Amino acid sequence: MPEGSRLADDRRRVTSELSSHRSSDGRFVNPWSDSTPPTFRDVITWSRTRRSTPRTQPVLPVHVQPDIVIPRAATDTLSATWVGHSTVLLQMGALNVLTDPMWSARASPVQWAGPHRLTTPGVTLDARPPIDVVLLSHNHYDHLDAASVRAIARRHPAARWFAPLGVARYVRRWGARAVTELDWWNTVDADGLRVACVPAQHASGRTPFDRMRTLWCGWTLRGGQHNIYFAGDTAYHPEFGEVASRYGPFDVCVLPVGAYEPRWFMRPVHVNPDEAVRAYTDIARAHPAAAPPIALAVHWGTFSLADEPVDEPPRRAAVAWSAAGLAPENLWILSLGETRHVPPRGA
């Protein structure tokens, strides 16, 4: 991203908002009530209960052949291909975008321990088109994977990377060149794109010693005829409607639906499917005259990170979606590698 890129914000408003999610010791915090992430003691308590919880064999998502346009799609095209977990390939006209790229076998600092993939990626590393933009939500291992970053940086050196505060140093160390680091509500305009870093309710840390030292976020990306919202990894928070008011209406919202049980532990950091639908309604309500966006359900079916069955999130999401009276065609629950195309506005 060029050094002279314009930050399109009201500076006084942003200064006030930035101070609300950083504590006096420099650590980042969730600024809303009852939003403190679990403590290390909570992790130990939950780990003990997990060992005594019976596990059932899940029905894992199947693989299908991707329908990716290589090298680039037509100007009016908007499609999404689910790679797995929170990794999505978005083809926004001629622009190719990746969210939270994760291709490794384990979400861990080492590949001999830690959460392992239950399903292989829906798109191989060599089957991707040229990557133009990579959106990173935070530094947890299942979202910021060193091997995947290195592979993308090596194969696609011209890619532009967008990261929340404190995360750019990782991806630069792993070979990425054009890295822009933003805080919540910061917006960058350049080369026909508008990229905004927006709030999420979560946490950060890759070791016991750097907890909450880097920021977490969601992203909006407007380019050409298309506008997308990638919510990142998040609990339910009160800013979904404000994100849509400032940066919508959106064509596609990439929303997490998994890793939510037990609620006493996961509620401050992960939405459950009912809360994901509530977040979607907040987003859609901000622009009642616009066509409702597509909701693409992610963050399920790849790693067993919580106590609910791995295959439960999409079922619960579909039930909550129906109960909210939402159009079934606007909820996308994809197979691995599946590509779907967003109809043009007004179609």
Where in the chain are the domains? 8-32+59-341
**What is the predicted pLDDT for the residue at 247?**
98
Weakest-pLDDT range from 35-49, 79-93, 318-332: 35-49
**What is the predicted pLDDT for the residue at 24?**
85
Q: Is the pLDDT reported for residue 267 higher than 60? A: yes
Share of the chain above pLDDT 70, in %: 92
Distances (CA, A) of 60 to 30, 37, 38, 336: 33, 29, 28, 10
- The residue that leads in pLDDT, 32 or 344, is 32
Q: Is the pLDDT reported for residue 41 higher than 90? A: no
**What is the predicted pLDDT for the residue at 346?**
53
Weakest-pLDDT range from 13-17, 73-77, 126-130: 13-17
**What is the predicted pLDDT for the residue at 3?**
41
**What is the predicted pLDDT for the residue at 10?**
43
**What is the predicted pLDDT for the residue at 110?**
84
**What is the predicted pLDDT for the residue at 47?**
85
Tens of pLDDT, residue by residue over 107-143, are: 998 888 889 999 999 999 999 999 999 999 999 999 9
Share of the chain above pLDDT 90, in %: 81
Write the burial class of residue 225 (CB in 10 Å: 0-12 exposed, 13-18 middle, 19+ buried): middle
**What is the predicted pLDDT for the residue at 56?**
72
- The residue that leads in pLDDT, 274 or 24, is 274
This prediction's pTM: 0.93
- Superfamily of domain 8-32+59-341, CATH level 4: Ribonuclease Z/Hydroxyacylglutathione hydrolase-like (3.60.15.10)
Average pLDDT, the chain: 92
